[in-house]
Amino acid sequence: MTSESGITRFVPKHEARSAQWWVLQRISGAFTFVLLGLHMVLNHFLNPFVEAQYPDIVRDYGIASFRVVQIKMANPLYLIVSFLFVIFLLFHAFNGVRTVWLDIIPGDASRRFIGWAVVILIVVLTLFTLWLNFSVAQLPG
């Protein structure tokens, strides 16, 4: 950095390509903020998907019971919202882990390794959540 700015120690660790991860972390963070709030409200406080159709099941078993979870997961709108939530949350979480990792272990080889590890973790865990949702939704109620 120039002496004009006075910042002499702020030197990027890697090439400028890392900037895309930084921007994506902000975008995924914003989506996660909104969708996590929705997730908490839907799963703790009220659930219009279930409560409108099956008010007695919610009353008799509770909002966190298996029956209610199953009815929720069978709803296509819930599936779409969950899928978006999982994608943004997993990206935000593991890109955050990547940032911490690169603070401790810098270098090109390390960056390539953790980059691929993050991609694989996101794909595997997204497939896991989809499999979970479809399996539970298809069980006999």
Partner 1 sequence: MTGSTEKRIHDTQVAGGSKPRNFLNWFKPWDQGIGMWAWFIQRMTGLFLVLYLFAHFGVLSTLLIDPTGELFDTLTISMNTPFLHGLPEIGPFPLDKATSFGFIVDFVLIGAMIYHGFNGIRVTMFDFYPESVRAQKRIFWILTILGILTWIIAMLLILIVPEIVLPGG
Q: Is 123 in the site for partner 1 (CB under 8 A)?
A: no
Dihedral, CA of residue 42, residue 46, residue 50 and residue 53, to nearest 10 = -150
CB-based contact 28:95 (threshold 8 Å): yes
Q: How far is the CB of 38 from partner 1 (least distance, A)?
A: 13
Q: Is 66 in the site for partner 1 (CB under 8 A)?
A: yes
Q: Is 80 in the site for partner 1 (CB under 8 A)?
A: no
Q: How far is the CB of 93 from partner 1 (least distance, A)?
A: 5
**Which tokens belong to 102?**
């690169």
Among 19, 53, 106, 112, binds partner 1 (CB under 8 A): 106
Q: Is 45 in the site for partner 1 (CB under 8 A)?
A: yes
Classify residue 18 by burial, with Cβ atoms within 10 Å: 0-12, 13-18, 19+. Answer: middle
Size of the site for partner 1 (CB under 8 A): 45
Distance CA 124, CA 93 (A): 14
Distance CA 67, CA 25 (A): 36
Where along the sequence are the contacts to partner 1 (CB under 8 A)? 5-7, 9-11, 13, 26, 29-30, 32-33, 36, 40, 44-46, 59-67, 69-70, 89, 93-94, 96-97, 100, 103-106, 125, 128-129, 132, 135-136, 139
